[in-house]
């Protein structure tokens, strides 16, 4: 994809880890203390600044078959990489404009036989997504900003082919705690840096002994083992 001066105002864009991704907003409503995306804003490391509304332009229909196959081998095209699903202030519905965008994205994905996988903490969106056959990574955490666990478990029970529950692993001492839990499918070890006041220690895949040990101990749960979805053996839990 050629980058121009409007590139970072697009919903659909290339992504080093996932191949491509789609965001409808980068003004994430979740306010997670451990978010590395939010932490990087304004530093020059992450170029996309806060934008309330981003619109999809039909790019999925222009993907080559090879690109579609690579995304499907990666578990699907990622929804929400730099934020979450937009929501209205009372959190009880998806804004009409966002629902129209999601319907457009899903329609184009179906036409190309492309799977979608959404990363979300938005209950309203998750219920909409599973009814439309969209894979959902439901993110829980120990900070009170995650997807409610009981509701995540209920959705996983109803839609076992679509729903996976993932959690942030705060530091190396918590790997076994989360890794042994049967109500957690995927472990995320990488998060914002310099957050020791929250008892957080990031464990990036490319230079962390703790990450390597976790991947050895929980090879079907530790996400991002190679830094790219296509080559990671876990593929967010969608290996079939």
Q: Identify the residue with better confidence: 50 or 114.
A: 114
Is the pLDDT score of 3 beyond 50? no
Strands (E) across 103-154 are located at 116-120, 135-140
What is the spatial distance between Cα 210 and Cα 175, in angstroms, rounded to a whole number?
Answer: 9
What's residue 38's pLDDT?
A: 72
pLDDT tens figures, 191-220: 887 888 999 998 887 778 999 999 999 999
pLDDT tens figures, 7-56: 456 899 998 889 999 999 988 888 888 887 777 665 544 445 678 899 99
One-character DSSP codes across 208-222 = -HHHHHHHHH-TTTB
What is the residue-averaged pLDDT of the chain? 89
What is 8-237's CATH topology?
Answer: TIM Barrel (3.20.20)
């Amino acid at each position: 994809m050629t980058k121009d001066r409007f590139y970072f105002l697009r919903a659909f864009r290339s992504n080093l880890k996932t191949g491509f991704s789609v965001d409808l907003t980068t003004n994430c409503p979740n306010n997670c203390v451990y978010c590395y995306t939010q932490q990087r804003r304004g530093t020059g490391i992450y170029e996309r600044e806060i934008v309330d509304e981003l619109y999809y332009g039909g790019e999925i229909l222009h993907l080559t078959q090879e690109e579609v196959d690579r995304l499907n081998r990666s578990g699907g095209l990622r929804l929400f990489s730099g934020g979450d699903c937009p929501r209205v202030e009372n959190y009880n519905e998806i804004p009409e404009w966002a629902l129209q965008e999601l319907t457009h994205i899903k329609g184009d994905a179906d036409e190309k036989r492309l799977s979608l996988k959404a990363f979300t903490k938005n209950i309203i969106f998750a219920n909409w997504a599973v009814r439309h056959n969209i894979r959902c990574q439901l993110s829980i955490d120990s900070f009170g900003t995650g997807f409610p666990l009981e509701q995540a478990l209920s959705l996983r029970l109803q839609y076992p082919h679509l729903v996976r529950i993932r959690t942030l692993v705060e530091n190396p001492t918590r790997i076994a705690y989360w890794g042994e839990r049967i109500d957690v499918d995927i472990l995320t070890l990488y998060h914002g840096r310099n957050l020791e006041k929250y008892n957080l220690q990031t464990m990036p895949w490319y230079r962390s002994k703790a990450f390597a040990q976790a991947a050895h101990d929980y090879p079907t749960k530790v996400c991002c083992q190679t830094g790219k979805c296509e080559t990671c053996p876990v593929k967010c839990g969608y290996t079939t």
